[in-house]
Amino acid sequence: MPRTVEIILTVALLVCVAPLAVAVAIAVRAELGRPILFRQIRSGQWGERIAIYKFRSMTDARDAAGALLPDAARTGRVGHTIRRFRLDEIPQLLSILRGDTALVGPRPLLEETVREFDLAGEARGAVRPGLTGWAQVNGNSRLANVEKICMDLWYVYRRDTWLDFRILWLTLVTLVRGETRSERRIAAACAWLKDGANFNFPPEMRRHP
């Protein structure tokens, strides 16, 4: 997607969701307290370190041994709602304006996760990470990690403006209908990469049918 178009769309989105962002911030403050935002360092394009901001959706509750409780035990009513509709991602619109991320692209991963996937992780970083992507509209949390990598690399090599707009439309559909796996698209992406596509995939990726 041309950068100018991306900026125009992002500014329009910011204007539209500004009142909602204020409401989410108030709700998070009431349920979770401060800080309202969650910050984490992720791997950006070509491995550049970028900061990702989200509205907090979970507490820091821990067990007797000091370990964090499972996500489900730390997510309250507000957190569940904002995660269901991806409202926690609203602050990332500012990252798009800064140029750290894009509207559409593979989601930014932790640096250690990128290293784990070796050359496949590096190839995934050939484009700016996005707010939404091909994996997110074809299953997202219902996908195995290997499937997400297949979907992301398929997008990196097939991306164009029309595909980006298709993903934006499918994102709206997903927000309304919820996450569903597209077995046909998943199979197509994994078949395209079944031989590794000249990348040094981890063994579990090579075993994918």
Residue range 172-203, pLDDT digits in tens: 999 999 899 999 999 988 888 775 554 544 44
Number of helices (H), then strands (E), in the chain: 10, 4
- Residue 198: the pLDDT is 47
Print the domain residue range for 42: 3-206
- Residue 55: the pLDDT is 93
- Residue 204: the pLDDT is 46
Backbone angles phi, psi at 142, to 5 degrees: -90, 0
Distance CA 11, CA 9 (A): 6
User: What is the number of domains present in the chain?
Assistant: 1
Higher pLDDT, 147 or 204: 147
Neighbouring C-beta atoms of residue 20, cutoff 10 Å = 13
The model's pTM: 0.83
* Helix (H/G/I), strand (E/B), else coil: 39: strand
Question: Dihedral sign, CA of 125, 145, 2, 6?
Answer: negative
- Residue 47: the pLDDT is 87
**Location of structure tokens 């798009």:** 96
Length, in residues, of the chain: 209
The closest alpha carbon to 114, from 48, 57, 39, 18, belongs to 48
Query: In which element (H, E) is residue 189 found?
Result: helix 183-192
Mean pLDDT of the chain: 86
Q: Both tokens of residue 94?
A: 């500012």
